[in-house]
Amino acid sequence: MNSQSELWHGTTILTVRKGGIVAVGGDGQVSIGQTIVKANAKKVRRLGKGEVIGGFAGATADAFTLFERLEAKLEQYPGQLTRAAVELAKDWRTDRYLRRLEAMMIVADKEVSLVLTGTGDVLEPESGVMGIGSGGNYALAAARALADTPMDAEAIVRRSLDIAADICVYTNRNVTVETLTT
């Protein structure tokens, strides 16, 4: 991964906020070039004493470094995901070491869902739905289409990731989904 455009290559992470539930899900495929090297990676995990869900797309080691940094910010600003995310984004953008990290993250707590990038972006999706990674736009489109159905947030995430796996060769059906009641 040598360019910003390649950050969108190799996984699918999706968040949906609906009916008092926020769900974050991701597929389990790890690819290097055109080769699948692992099919059951866990790219979604709980952070901040279980009060935050995070998912990543991009280089795994870089993502775990960012998760560790976000955990430290959450300890510094407990219960303030937005503040912790903004502080992480500032560090990510200005710190020489962090600036080289190539990953994107979706994080969510009971109040807010955010996308964080290495360009300093901390974005809250308008509709409570956001996707990242190579299959992110496919999953995002599916989730938006399903948002007005009776399906709950977790079901929408699972079905949308399944649809993305039909389209994106870098996305598989081995998904991890975490939810929080809002």
CATH code at position 23: 3.60.20.10
Whether residue 49 lies inside any domain: the answer is yes
Range of the domain at 81: 4-174
Contact assessment for residue 58 and residue 103, using Cβ atoms and an 8 Å cutoff = yes
Whether residue 182 lies inside any domain: the answer is no
Whether residue 112 lies inside any domain: the answer is yes
Whether residue 180 lies inside any domain: the answer is no
Q: 11, 12, 117, 171: which one is catalytic?
A: 11
Clarify whether 11 is annotated catalytic.
yes
Whether residue 52 lies inside any domain: the answer is yes
Token readout for 14 is 């999706």
| Segment holding 176, helix H or strand E | strand 176-181
- Tens of pLDDT along the chain (182 residues) come to 444 444 335 789 999 999 999 999 999 998 888 888 899 999 999 999 999 999 998 878 788 888 999 999 999 999 999 999 999 988 887 776 676 777 889 999 999 999 998 788 899 998 999 999 999 999 999 999 999 999 999 999 999 999 999 999 999 999 999 999 99
Whether residue 46 lies inside any domain: the answer is yes
Secondary structure of 14-40 as H, E, C letters: EEEEECCEEEEEECCCEEECCEEEECC
Split into its structural domains, the chain has a count of 1
Taking the C-alpha atoms of residue 42 and residue 177, their distance in angstroms, rounded to an integer, is 10
The model's pTM: 0.92
CB contact set of 10 (below 8 Å; sequence gap of 6+): 29, 30, 31, 57, 58, 133, 134, 170
Whether residue 179 lies inside any domain: the answer is no
Whether residue 181 lies inside any domain: the answer is no
CB contact set of 149 (below 8 Å; sequence gap of 6+): 156
